[in-house]
Structure 1
């Protein structure tokens, strides 16, 4: 019994470590994507990125794909649709809002995830996870501040909540939906097949949207395959999509959706660190406070969950002892 419990704990921590590895990789994509979009239209970039990743994965997933029934395939495609909606609304939103507001609003998925976990999976988030989520959200506020006053961020959000902000808010909800639905689907579908379904759905929908926007005269399809763009596609398609999506699909089921949301909130933190070194962007006192709060959120959720688990185990042991005494043992 103890060995089984220890094995579950090891799986949980390994899963959390794997998801944290993903956020480091995703954090590094900010600079690369920013440079790549000088040579290609946004949705075309997303479509090609996910198409390359899905083609790389196909030889490894084809055996499992053949075993899928209709219900499993539909479930996997639904997860892929939410992933696409998250990327597309984020891309559109960035064109109409500031980077400061976009970073903070996208990070609000850390609060949407526990709510959706409760509504969709009927799984109540732990108090530790909720407290950790709140600390992370506070950290994102500080990390998003670009000037000397933290109130300017709230003023900017309140006085000028525009179309781009609405799109970015939808992006946070869609990414939270993807996290929760992935938690359900990954317990039923082989991770290789499920990853392929997500990648291929996102790729096809992004390419369709790219050409639809071009036909409507909204965003022309453009691509100049420079060395910078080719390098950006190689990095994002292989490392930041093929590897990370496979890791996410394989290991996210070892942790709760709420904890996954907390871990994914480290992405803007790592983005800020990469931007500091690669783009010489300023790291302010608010940035350091934000980083400290985000780390505290993860640490608090771990410690409080561990204490809660220990208390439950002690209560169970006491109940068993009382039961044995009643039965004369």
Structure 2
């Protein structure tokens, strides 16, 4: 129950991060914001995992940092989309598609064919995407395309992160990856034109909220929650992030949501729910077959041994 609560709070903090980011990028360049935010967030997490970090081999460090580069690229595209978008809730629903895109990414990169659940959920998610984006005819806005690109890059991060997850403790991996995200952002900011920052108490407050609460505390709670509950339960709870983002953007930013886009968002959430539930059912069926095959082999072995004596 405690793990569920941790993940529930983590999804709410992630939604706060969407709103905080939208407010901050109005006074601060997005790439500089991402760089400083995630670099500071990694330093906040460092005291919780530095002992484990010192025990890592160079190969493990490089693996985590390499995966962090994809996360950094995804977040750079994401923050630019946030800065030009008029609808955070729309962006949050599109970003949630990363979970649906991930099986296709794994197929392209590592020849791991998607399961049956993916092919069932895919047309539902495509329908939702069409309802979100085709309000003005057959034309997608720039922010929608960028959110979709960020979602695709995030799916690459999901797939790569899963391949290294067995060799690293989650918190150590997150700390390293957030550090790399910060470096990617600051390096990108250094090679772009000079930036101006409109300092104000409002900017400082929301920057602190996005860094400490929506990043450091959020990832810490998310890691603790995922450790205490099953992967399927964690995935279902994470679906709440775009829902909270929608509520907060309407309440805090005065965003209006057209009925068609709301239905599109519901379609996307439904596709995620279907994918997770069917994947879970298929995994249980495969496990049951494996156990049954193992039992049959044991019975045959006993018969063979019995016939010899």
TM-score (norm 2): 0.78
User: 1:22-70: per-residue Cα shift (whole Å, max 9, x none)?
Assistant: 4432223222222222322222211221122122112222212211111
Unaligned runs of 5+ in 2: none
Q: 1:70 aligns with which of 58, 61, 64?
A: 58
Alignment-derived partner of residue 167 in structure 2: 188
* Aligned Cα root-mean-square deviation (Å): 3.7
Deviation, 1:245, is 3.1
Matched, 1:226 2:172: no
Q: 2:75 aligns with which of 55, 66, 87?
A: 87
Q: 1:235 aligns with which of 209, 214, 227?
A: 209
Q: 2:271 aligns with which of 285, 290, 297?
A: 297
Return the alpha-carbon distance in structure 1 between the equivalents of residues 59 and 30 of structure 2: 32
The aligned runs of 1:1-329 (5 Å cut-off) are 21-93=9-81, 99=87, 106-142=95-131, 144=132, 151-152=134-135, 155-157=138-140, 167-214=146-193, 220-247=194-221, 251=226, 255=231, 267-312=241-286, 315-316=289-290, 319=293, 324=299
User: 1:242-261: per-residue Cα shift (whole Å, max 9, x none)?
Assistant: 133345566399648xx95x
Q: Secondary structure at the match of 2:49?
A: helix
Q: Secondary structure at the match of 1:155?
A: coil
Return the alpha-carbon distance in structure 2 between the equivalents of residues 69 and 313 of structure 1: 34
Q: Secondary structure at the match of 2:135?
A: helix
Does the Cα contact within 8 Å between 2:35 and 2:186 map onto a contact in 1? yes
User: 1:147-171: per-residue Cα shift (whole Å, max 9, x none)?
Assistant: xxxx4356112xx7x6x67655442
User: 1:308-327: per-residue Cα shift (whole Å, max 9, x none)?
Assistant: 34544554566567653796
Does the Cα contact within 8 Å between 2:26 and 2:83 map onto a contact in 1? no
When the two structures are aligned, how many residues end up with a matched partner? 299
Return the alpha-carbon distance in structure 2 between the equivalents of residues 32 and 114 of structure 1: 31
Return the alpha-carbon distance in structure 1 between the equivalents of residues 288 and 279 of structure 2: 14
The 1:207/1:277 distance shift into structure 2, 3 A limit, reads: same
Return the alpha-carbon distance in structure 1 between the equivalents of residues 74 and 170 of structure 2: 21
TM-score (norm 1): 0.74
